Chains A and B, each alone.
Chain A
Amino acid sequence: DAGVIQSPRHEVTEMGQEVTLRCKPISGHNSLFWYRQTMMRGLELLIYFNNNVPIDDSGMPEDRFSAKMPNASFSTLKIQPSEPRDSAVYFCASSPSSYNSPLHFGNGTRLTVT
């Protein structure tokens, strides 16, 4: 079990550039989550998918953010255009489709927008 794999680990970009974060969930997990962590706001759920279908994207801050899950083993979170206030650590997590299964997190992508 390789765990949830995120790439890149660190991303530094200039304001206005497009940023794409990637996630590979644990094989067999049907639910995938994108979280953002900042000192001020803690961990916030951005969007989650069940069986590759977006279920709730109410946490996506603006239209500049979009997420896709084209298949069961891959998801992307895109920010276009990026802004300095998007700087944060972005986590992907996966779990079996059950309320009583623990969530498994990746190591996160630290995004810095200058």
Chain B
Amino acid sequence: KQEVTQIPAALSVPEGENLVLNCSFTDSAIYNLQWFRQDPGKGLTSLLLIQSSQREQTSGRLNASLDKSSGRSTLYIAASQPGDSATYLCAVYQGAQKLVFGQGTRLTINP
């Protein structure tokens, strides 16, 4: 059974810092991996999708990497801003369109 783990569960950093969020998964047979952002009281917003054949994806200040063999992904946020404060979740496509989610990392950027 696929398990997705995100460490740390919470992270607080001052504005302007670069930071890395971690995601690990137990079964490397995945189709792709997605990173989402969730704001309080809202649904999830897809940030980046990395296909299984890719190593990384970039969107603006965000860069996500994928190492299938080691079962790891990272989300790098450059020059963090208070508006980046949210919960970040990673999820892997196990197959048959079933996304398995991690528990998320709650990120706080302090002005």
Determine the interface band of chain A, counting residues with CB < 8 A from chain B.
Answer: 20 to 34
CB distance from B106 to the nearest CB of A (A): 12
Over the window 68-111 of chain B, the binary record of Cβ atoms lying under 8 Å from chain A Cβ atoms (1 yes, 0 no) is: 00000000000000000000010101001111011110000000
In angstroms, Cα B36 to Cα A105, docked, is: 10
Contact of A105 among B31, B41, B45 (CB under 8 A): B45
User: For B43, B91, B101, which residue has the most chain A Cβ atoms within 10 angstroms?
Assistant: B43
With CB as the reference atom, state the residue of chain B lying closest to A98.
B97
Chain B residues proximal to chain A, CB less than 8 Å: 31-32, 34, 36, 41-46, 49, 51, 89, 91, 93, 96-99, 101-104
In the complex, what residue of chain B is closest to A9 when comparing beta carbons? Answer: B41
A5 shortest CB reach to chain B, Å: 11
Distance in angstroms between the alpha carbons of A42 and B34 in the assembled complex: 16
Q: A58: nearest residue on chain B (CB-CB)?
A: B98
Specify the main secondary structure of chain A where it touches its partner.
Answer: strand
A56 to B: closest C-beta gap in Å = 6
- The reply on A71 being an interface residue by CB < 8 A is no
List, in ascending order, chain A residues with CB within 8 A of B89's CB: 43
Q: Which residues of A contact B104 (CB under 8 A)?
A: 42
A-B contact pairs, 10 of them (CB 8 A): A31-B97, A42-B104, A43-B101, A48-B98, A100-B31, A100-B32, A100-B51, A101-B49, A103-B46, A107-B41
Beta-carbon contact of B99 and A45 below 8 Å: yes
From residue 46 to 78 of chain A, which have CB atoms closer than 8 A to chain B?
A: 48, 50, 55-56
Contact of A4 with B43 in the complex, beta carbons under 8 Å:
yes
Question: Hey, what's the 0/1 contact readout for A85-114 against B, CB within 8 Å counting as 1?
Answer: 000000101010101111111111000000
Interchain CB contact under 8 A, A100 and B44: no
Contact yes or no, B43 A105, CB < 8 A: yes
B97 touches A48 (CB 8 A): yes
B99 shortest CB reach to chain A, Å: 7
